[in-house]
Amino acid sequence: MKRAPGFVPLAIVFALFVLFMYGPMFVIFILSFQGPEGGLTFPLRGLSLHWFAKLAEGLGVVDIGAALRRSLALGLAVMACTVVFSVLAGLAFRKKLAGGNALFFIVIASLIMPSIIVSLGIGLEFRLLDGGIKWALEVLGMQDILDEYGTALGLFTSALGAHLTWTLPFGLLIMFAIFNRFNPAYEEAARDLGATPWQSFKHVVLPLIAPSVVGIGMFGFTLSWDEIARTSQAIGDVNTLPLELQGLTTTVTTPSIYAIGTVTTVVSFIVMGITLLLVKLLGQKSKGRP
Amino acid sequence: MSTPTASLPSPTPAPGRSLSAWWQATPLTAVFAVFFLVPLALILMVSFWDFNEYELLPGFTFKNYISIFDGCGNTTEMCVTLKTYLSTFKFCFMVWLITLVIGFAVSYFLAFHIQSQGTQTLLFVLCTIPFWTSNVIRMISWVPLLGRNGLVNQGLVGAGLVDKPIEWLLFSDFSVTLAFVHLYTMFMIVPIFNSMMRIDRSLLEAANDSGASGWQTLWNVIVPLSRTGIIIGSIFVITIVMGDFVTVGVMGGQQIASIGKIIQVQTSYLQFPLAAANAVILLAIVLMIIWALTRLVDIRKEL
C-alpha cells in the first residue's frame, strides 16, 4: 500500500513521543528493584525487593501506609460522589433546566480555574468557618466542646469538596457525551408500557449507560488519587499520598521513592484494569439482552 | 467569556416531567456553590483584609495589593512580582508552543495517517495511559535520567561529547519545561484529535482535486477546522502552567519563582490576605488570556 506523504517522518515523531512518555517511567520502575547497595541512578546494583521492604517499614517520620489508606478512602468517596452527582445532573440537563446554562458555565469555569486558587479559597472558607464555630461555641458557653474543637478542614469535608470541583466537570462532560448519543425511544417504550420514571431509569436507562458510568467512576478515582494542587491548601493537618510524595522528593534519597512510584502506578493500573473488565462485562450484558 | 447561549450541548430531550430536573441537579449545584463560588467570593473579600501573625483582621484595605506591587514603579530594577510573572509567562509560552507542536503532529498522525480504526484507538489509548499515573512520580522519573550522574550525562561523557557532566539538565528552566511537556501534552492531544476526527474527509479530497499541495491543505483546511481543539487545548495548558507550583517546585529544585509558588508559600506562613490578593491578580490575568482565546472561537458551538 502506498503511504501518504509525510507518513514516515510523522511515524518517527510519534514513536519518539511514545518513548518520551514511557521511557522515564520504565527507568524508575527498573531502578526500584535495585539491590540494597543501589542508588538513585544507573548502573543497577543487584536485583531485589529490598526498597519495597524499606518502604513497608516506613520512611522516617512519614507514615506512608496511613497516607495510602487516606488516599484510597478519599478516592473511593470521590468516586462514589462523582458517579451519583454526575448521573443525576446528566439526567437533569436532558430536561428543561432553568439556569442550566449558568450552571454549565460554572462547571466549565471550575475545570479551567488554576487549582491553587480553588484550593486557597476552600482553605480560607474552612478557616473562617472554624473562626465562626469557635465564636459561636464561646458565645453559647460550651467550653468543653470548644476545648475539643480542632478544625473543620479534613479529608471528607474540605478535601472531598476540593476534589469534586476537579472530577465533576469531567463526569458531567462524559454524561453529555453519553446522552448526546442516547435514543429516548427506549424510555418512551418503557413509559408506554406503564413503567414509572424510576422503573424506566433502573431497568432501561441505567443498563444502557452503565459502561460509561463505570468510566466516570474510574475518572473520579484516578483524578483524586493523583491530585495535589487542589488538595494542598484544603486538607488541614493530614496528608494524602501525592502530597507526602511531593514532600519526600526533597528528603528521600534512596530508591524507596522509586518503589512508591512503582506501587502507586500499579494501583492506578489495577483500577484501570478493573474498570475495563467491568465495562466489558456490562457491555456484553446489555448486548445479550433481547 | 460571554454568557453561554442556547448553543449549549443539547442532548436529546428526555421524556418525563421537567419538575424533577432541579432536584436532580441539586447535588452538583451545591458542590459548586459551596466549594467553588463561595471560596472565590471569599478570596476576593479576604484580599482586602488586614492580618497579623495570629489572625485575619476583617476590614477594607488596599495594603495587600500595594505590597505586591511594592517597588514596581522603579525603572532601573524590576520588582519581584513582575519578575515572577515574567518567569511564569515564559514557561507558559514555551510549554504552550512545544505542547501545541507535538500535540498537533501526534494528533495529525493518528487522525489522518492511521487508516485502521482499531490501530487508531490502540495508539490513542497508548498516548493517554501515562496520564493515569501520579504527576509527582512522572516528575521524579526524570531524576535518574537528567541528574549529575544520570543516564544522559553518562551517555554524553561516555561518548566523549563533554568532559564533565552538564549541570543544567536538572533543577533548571530546562527540566521544568521538560516536565510540563511530559505531563500536559495529553491535554493538547485529546481536544485536537477530537476536532480532527470530525473533519469531513471529503473536504481533503476536494482540496486535493482542486490542486492544493499537502501544505496548502494542511494550512488552509485542517488547521482552521482543528481550531476549536487547538484553543481548548491551549486554555488547559495555559491555565495549568499559570497556576502551577508543584512542577516548578519539584523540577526547579525549589529555586524557581512562579506565581503559584508565591501563593503557596504565603499560605504556609498564614498570610492569607496577601495570598488572596495574589490569587485575585492571577485570576484576572488568566481570565484575560482565556477571554482573548475565546474571541477566536465559539467553544460552546463545537462541543
In the predicted structure, residue B14 carries a pLDDT above the cut 70: no
DSSP B50: E
Task: Kindly state the cell numbers that stand for B134.
Answer: 501520579
Contact A55, A32 (CB under 8 A): no
Contacts of A172 in chain B (CB under 8 A): 28
pLDDT tens string A169-209: 999 998 988 888 888 888 888 888 888 888 888 888 888 88
Helix (H, G, I), strand (E, B) or coil at B56: strand
Model pLDDT, residue A34: 78
Q: Long-range contacts: B110-116, Cβ < 8 Å, 24+?
A: B110/A14, B110/B193, B111/B193, B111/B196, B111/B197, B111/B199, B112/A4, B112/B196, B112/B204, B112/B222, B113/A3, B113/A4, B113/A6, B113/A7, B113/A10, B113/A11
pLDDT band (50, 70, 90) for residue B2: very low
Residue B125 cell numbers, joined: 489509548
Band the pLDDT of B1: cuts 50, 70, 90. Answer: very low
| pLDDT score of A247 more than 60 | yes
Indicate whether A268 pLDDT > 60.
yes
- Which grid coordinates belong to A72? 484510597
Task: Tell me the pLDDT tens digit for each residue of B54-76.
Answer: 777 788 888 888 888 877 777 67
> What pLDDT was estimated at residue A3?
60
Tell me which of B37, B122, B136, B151 to substitute to probe the interface with A (most A C-beta atoms closer than 10 Å). Answer: B136
What pLDDT sits at residue B100?
95
- A-chain residues within 8 Å CB-CB of B130? 21-22, 25
Of B6-15, B89-98, B122-131, B180-189, least confident by mean pLDDT is: B6-15
CA dihedral B132, B135, B137, B142 (to 10 degrees): 120
Report pLDDT for B19. Answer: 63
pLDDT range class, residue B15, cuts 50, 70, 90: very low
The pLDDT score that the predictor gives to residue A97 is 81
Beta bridge partners of residue B51, listed in sequence order: B56
Q: Can you tell me the distance from the alpha carbon of A86 to that of A227, in angstroms, rounded to the nearest whole number?
A: 19
User: Taking CB atoms and an 8 Å limit, are B214 and A6 in contact across chains?
Assistant: yes
pLDDT score of B53 more than 50? yes
Q: How far is CA A93 from CA A1, A56, B2, B217, in A?
A: 47, 47, 20, 39
Please write the tens of the pLDDT for every residue from B234-279.
999 999 999 888 888 888 887 888 898 889 888 888 888 989 999 9
Q: pTM of the entire structure?
A: 0.85
pLDDT tens-place string over residues B149-171: 788 888 888 887 787 778 788 88
Give yes or no for A2 touching B (CB within 8 A).
no
For residue B251, count CB atoms less than 10 angstroms from its CB and return exposed for 0-12, middle for 13-18, buried for 19 or more: buried
Instruction: Name every chain A residue with its beta carbon within 8 A of the beta carbon of B285.
Output: none
Stronger pLDDT, A141 or A158, i.e. the higher one: A158
- Are A172 and B139 an interchain contact pair (Cβ–Cβ within 8 Å)? no
Between A10, A121, A246, which is nearest B42 by CB? Answer: A121
Separation between Cα atoms, residue A243 and residue A236, nearest integer Å: 12
Chain A, window 231-290: residues with a beta carbon less than 8 angstroms from a chain B beta carbon:
232-233, 242, 245-246, 249-250, 257-258, 260-261, 264-265, 268-269, 272
CB B258 within 8 A of CB B87: yes
Q: Which three cell numbers stand for residue A9?
A: 517522518
Across the interface, do A40 and B132 touch by the CB < 8 Å criterion? no
pLDDT on residue B211: 85
Instruction: Kindly report, residue by residue over B280-294, the tens digit of the pLDDT.
Output: 999 999 999 988 888
Per-residue pLDDT at B3 exceeds 50 = no
pLDDT by residue (tens digit) across B34-51? 999 999 999 999 999 888
Please choose, from the candidates A130, A231, A106, the residue with its C-alpha nearest in 3D space to the C-alpha of residue B31: A106
A86 contacts in chain B (CB < 8 Å)? 28
Q: Which of A22, A27, A40 sits opposite B130 (nearest CB)?
A: A22
Q: What angle do CA B71, B261, B283 make, to 5 degrees?
A: 75
Mean pLDDT of B112-129: 86
Residue of B98, B139, B141, B178 to mutate when probing chain A, most A C-beta within 10 A: B141
Instruction: Output the CA torsion B52→B57→B62→B64 (10° steps).
Output: 40
Q: What is the pLDDT of residues A60-92, one digit of tens each?
A: 666 777 888 888 899 999 999 999 999 999 988
Q: What is the sign of the dihedral through the CA atoms of A247, A249, A253 and A255?
A: positive
| DSSP-assigned states of every residue in B121-159 | HHHHHHHHGGGGS-HHHHHHTTHHHHSTTSHHHHHHHHT
User: Is residue B15 reached through a cis peptide bond, with omega within 30 degrees of 0 on the bond before it?
Assistant: no
Instruction: Show residues of chain A in contact with B276, CB under 8 Å.
Output: 120, 124
- Kindly indicate the confidence band of residue A1, based on its pLDDT and cuts at 50, 70 and 90: very low
Predicted confidence (pLDDT) per residue in A203-227, tens digit? 888 888 888 888 898 889 888 888 8
Does the pLDDT of residue A280 top 60, yes or no?
A: yes
**In Å, how far is B7's CA from the nearest CA of chain A?**
9
The three cell numbers of residue B282 are 492571577
In angstroms, the separation between the Cα of residue B245 and the nearest Cα of chain A is 8
Terminal CA-CA length for chain A: 42
Strand (E) or helix (H) holding B104: helix B80-108
Identify the pLDDT of residue B10.
46
Between positions 122 and 151 of B, the ones with CB within 8 A of A are 123, 126-127, 130, 132-145, 147, 149-151
First to last CA, chain B: 16
- If you average pLDDT over each of B74-83, B120-129, B172-181, which comes out highest? B172-181
CB contact under 8 A, A94 and B13: yes
Integer angstrom CA distances of residue B226 from B29, B134, B152, B256: 32, 30, 36, 35
pLDDT (tens digit per residue) in A8-19: 889 999 999 999
CA distance B135 to B132: 9
Q: Does pLDDT of B175 surpass 80? A: yes
Long-range contacts of A196-204 (CB under 8 A, 24+ apart): A197/B16, A197/B17, A197/B20, A201/A91
Per-residue model confidence (pLDDT) at position B4: 40
